[in-house]
């Protein structure tokens, strides 16, 4: 089902608003849902301990028309997004990738439009360094080939293979 | 020695500083979904790392009595959630370095350091050093955009909570804390009472901590908190001076009457102890009361809390018995 607002992305967030007894339903994609949140100023006081507020945001119709059997499950812990909603917590680290789009509006509300800055685990840093090294070696390889320095190119090619093996 | 019985910087206002880092390992579920096997593997992983660094003792929470767990909560070295919920929880404690690592709490790992007085840089440094040790040996769950992945989405990013326990008797007495809370919330600092339920500062003790965990570096978060709480500290000190300028006799009278009650009561409840503590501690800082240090009074307060009191008495106590023993212990600890 397409998002009612942009008509481009898949609708993954379903709202049901009841104001003065009048019910309105929306089916939106993650991006449009986040914008709607900002516009209408809903949930302006978020409680970090708010099972109520957070799960209220997630529920009630998030998984829409899909049957229980069709519901997407996390590949590590088997959680559905419905379960995550009711506890307001992820089941495992992989949930954040599996349900990246579904999480987006909540994370926008909690943390704004920010990305992580600061400390990075050692292995991630090493991987990033290795990738930079490989990029540099590939550049030198292209230059060596262009200059017809084939022996040098062969050495560089071997170095690249080793470095790729290490990631 | 714990944060409450050691000297530290600026203890006239800052009782302690804590840094907590939340970390999880890839390939393991969180919380209830983590079975015994997974929990045992995680505990073993962490023990192997810490063993090489020496000085750690381990407590499996399920193997100690509820009262002992409660006593640890009163000492602020574990969280109430850790004490209650976690079936497989283990605490790794390095008392010399003031490091407390809660294994299998809400997150797989909560690295904590609690230092006496005002020590944000040092507390952060120690926590990050411990983090590096474990990082080298295990795979942390991490996402490029979301940072360190945590059970609760509110902790994503740095997974860092830095807080200070502050003694703010003047701000509390003059009912300025609501306005302090509002001001601080605008700069990303939350305020709540350290003891007592709800938002009231029992003993005029308040906990101020960062609310942002994602989008800023650890250093930035620490600096922002440091700046905000330094302003609060200066406000408190200025208000104390004002109270003295305005009517030092009345202030001294209030303090000394509280001291007298603390010293000579026969029955002393926990809540009354909290009220009197704030007056007496201020009296010590202003120089009206001598013969006991602020740290000694802080230790007296912690040891008079219900679970700690019962453990030192060596038996289960009724409410009445607790009030009698508390009064007796306090009388003996206070100078004439």
Q: Which residue, B181, B103, B150, B113, is CA-closest to A95?
A: B150
In angstroms, the CA A136 to CA A118 distance is: 25
C-alpha B272, offset from chain centre: 21
Tokens linked to B53: 């660094």
SS3 (DSSP) at B189: strand
Residue A35: its pLDDT value, please?
72
**What is the signed CA dihedral for B127, B132, B137, B138, rounded to 10 degrees?**
70
pLDDT digits (tens, 9 = 90+) for A88-104: 999 999 999 999 999 99
DSSP string, B72-123: HHHTTSS-HHHHHT-TT-EEEEETTTTEEEEESSSSSEEEEEEEEBS-HHHH
Residue A4: how many other CB atoms lie within 10 Å: 13
Contact criterion met (CB below 8 Å) for B28 and B38: yes
pLDDT band at B78 (very low <50, low <70, confident <90, very high): confident
- Rounded to the nearest integer, the mean pLDDT of chain A is 78
pLDDT digits (tens, 9 = 90+) for B26-76: 999 998 888 889 999 999 999 999 988 778 999 998 888 889 999 999 998
Of A76, A110, A111, the CB nearest to B29: A76
Residue A4: its pLDDT value, please?
83
CA distances from A80 to A69, A72, A95, B48 (A): 11, 6, 9, 34
Q: What is the DSSP letter of B154?
A: G
Tell me what the mean pLDDT of segment B248-256 comes to.
96
In angstroms, the CA A75 to CA A80 distance is: 10
Q: Does B151 touch chain A (CB under 8 A)?
A: yes
**Neighbouring residues of B195: CB distance < 8 A, sequence distance ≥ 6:** B201, B202, B203, B205, B274
Of A114, A118, A121, the CB nearest to B218: A118
Per-residue pLDDT at A15 exceeds 80: no
Q: Does A123 touch chain B (CB under 8 A)?
A: yes
Per-residue pLDDT at B305 exceeds 70: yes
Residue A41: its pLDDT value, please?
44
In angstroms, the CA B294 to CA B258 distance is: 15
In angstroms, the CA B280 to CA B169 distance is: 10
Residue B201: its pLDDT value, please?
65
Q: Does B130 touch chain A (CB under 8 A)?
A: no
In angstroms, the CA B233 to CA B166 distance is: 8
Is there a contact between B33 and A91 if contact means CB atoms under 8 Å apart? Answer: yes
Residues of B in contact with A84 (CB under 8 A): none
Q: Does A64 touch chain B (CB under 8 A)?
A: no
pLDDT band at B153 (very low <50, low <70, confident <90, very high): very high
Is there a contact between A116 and B158 if contact means CB atoms under 8 Å apart? Answer: yes
Is there a contact between A117 and B217 if contact means CB atoms under 8 Å apart? Answer: yes
Per-residue pLDDT at B106 exceeds 80: yes
Residue A65: its pLDDT value, please?
45
Tokens linked to A2: 């397409």
In angstroms, the CA A163 to CA A79 distance is: 37
In angstroms, the CA B255 to CA B249 distance is: 10
The C-alpha angle B242, B243, B245, rounded to 5 degrees, equals 60
Is there a contact between B27 and A76 if contact means CB atoms under 8 Å apart? Answer: yes
CA distance A114 to chain B (A): 5
pLDDT band at A134 (very low <50, low <70, confident <90, very high): very high
Interface confidence, given as ipTM, is: 0.84
pLDDT band at A53 (very low <50, low <70, confident <90, very high): very low
Please name the residue of chain A whose CA is at the shortest distance from the CA of residue B28: A92
CA distances from A105 to A17, A52, A53, A90, A110 (A): 17, 16, 14, 15, 9
Contact criterion met (CB below 8 Å) for B59 and B296: no
Is the CA virtual torsion B272, B274, B278, B283 positive or negative? Answer: positive
Peptide bond into A60 cis (omega under 30): yes
**Neighbouring residues of B2: CB distance < 8 A, sequence distance ≥ 6:** B75, B77, B95, B98, B114, B302
CA distance B136 to chain A (A): 7
Residues of A in contact with B26 (CB under 8 A): 93
Residue B109: its pLDDT value, please?
94
Q: Which residue, B163, B154, B125, B140, is CA-closest to B214?
A: B154
C-alpha B244, offset from chain centre: 30
Residue B85: its pLDDT value, please?
65
Q: Which residue, B170, B161, B243, is CA-closest to B201?
A: B170
Decide which of B206 and B5 is more confident. B206
Contact criterion met (CB below 8 Å) for A108 and A29: no
Is there a contact between A89 and B157 if contact means CB atoms under 8 Å apart? Answer: no
Is there a contact between B147 and A121 if contact means CB atoms under 8 Å apart? Answer: no
Q: Which residue, B279, B3, B306, is CA-closest to B334?
A: B279
pLDDT band at A33 (very low <50, low <70, confident <90, very high): confident
In angstroms, the CA A157 to CA A141 distance is: 7
CA distances from B1 to A123, B26, B93 (A): 36, 35, 12
Is there a contact between B158 and A119 if contact means CB atoms under 8 Å apart? Answer: yes
The C-alpha angle A125, A127, A132, rounded to 5 degrees, equals 95
């Amino acid at each position: 089902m397409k998002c009612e607002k942009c008509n481009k992305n898949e609708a993954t967030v379903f709202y049901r608003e009841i104001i003065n007894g009048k019910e309105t339903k929306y089916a939106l994609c993650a991006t449009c849902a986040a914008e709607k949140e900002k516009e209408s100023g809903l949930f302006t006081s978020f409680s970090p301990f708010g099972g109520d507020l957070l799960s209220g945001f997630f529920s009630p119709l998030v998984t829409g028309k899909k049957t229980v059997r069709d519901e997407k499950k996390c590949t590590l812990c088997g959680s559905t997004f419905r379960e995550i909603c009711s506890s307001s917590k992820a089941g495992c680290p992989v949930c954040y990738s599996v349900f990246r789009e579904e999480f987006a509006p909540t994370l926008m509300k909690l943390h704004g439009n920010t990305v992580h800055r600061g400390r990075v685990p050692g292995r991630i840093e090493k991987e990033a360094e290795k990738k930079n090294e490989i990029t540099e070696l590939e550049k030198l390889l292209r230059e060596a080939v262009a200059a017809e320095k084939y022996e040098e190119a062969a050495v560089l090619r071997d170095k690249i293979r080793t470095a790729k093996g290490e990631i | 020695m714990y944060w409450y019985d050691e000297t530290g910087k600026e203890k006239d206002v800052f009782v302690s500083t804590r840094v907590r880092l939340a970390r999880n390992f890839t390939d393991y579920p969180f919380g209830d979904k983590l079975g015994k096997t997974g929990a045992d593997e995680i505990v073993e992983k962490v023990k192997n790392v810490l063993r090489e660094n020496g000085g750690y003792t381990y407590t499996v929470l399920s193997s100690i009595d509820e009262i002992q767990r409660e006593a640890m909560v009163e000492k602020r070295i574990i969280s109430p959630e850790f004490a209650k919920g976690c079936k497989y929880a283990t605490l790794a404690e390095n008392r010399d370095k003031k490091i407390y690592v809660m294994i299998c709490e809400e997150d797989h790992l909560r690295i904590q350091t609690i230092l006496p007085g005002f020590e944000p840089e040092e507390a952060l440094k120690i926590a990050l050093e411990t983090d590096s040790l474990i990082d080298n040996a295990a795979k942390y769950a991490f996402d490029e955009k979301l940072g360190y992945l945590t059970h609760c989405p509110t902790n994503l990013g740095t997974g860092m909570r830095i807080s200070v326990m502050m003694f703010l008797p003047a701000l509390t007495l003059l009912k300025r804390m609501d306005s302090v809370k509002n001001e601080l919330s605008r700069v990303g600092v939350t305020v709540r009472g350290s003891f007592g339920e709800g938002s009231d500062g029992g003993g005029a003790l308040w906990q101020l901590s960062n609310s942002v965990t994602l989008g800023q570096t650890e250093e930035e978060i620490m600096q922002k908190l440091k700046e905000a709480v330094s302003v609060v500290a200066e406000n408190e000190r200025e208000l104390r001076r004002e109270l003295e300028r305005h009517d030092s006799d009345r202030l001294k009278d209030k303090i000394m009457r509280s001291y007298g009650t603390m010293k000579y009561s026969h029955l002393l409840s926990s809540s009354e102890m909290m009220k009197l503590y704030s007056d007496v501690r201020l009296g010590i800082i202003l120089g009206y009361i001598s013969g006991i240090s602020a740290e000694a009074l802080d230790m007296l307060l912690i040891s008079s809390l219900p679970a700690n009191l019962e453990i030192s008495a060596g038996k289960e106590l009724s409410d009445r018995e607790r009030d009698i023993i508390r009064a007796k212990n306090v009388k003996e600890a206070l100078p004439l």
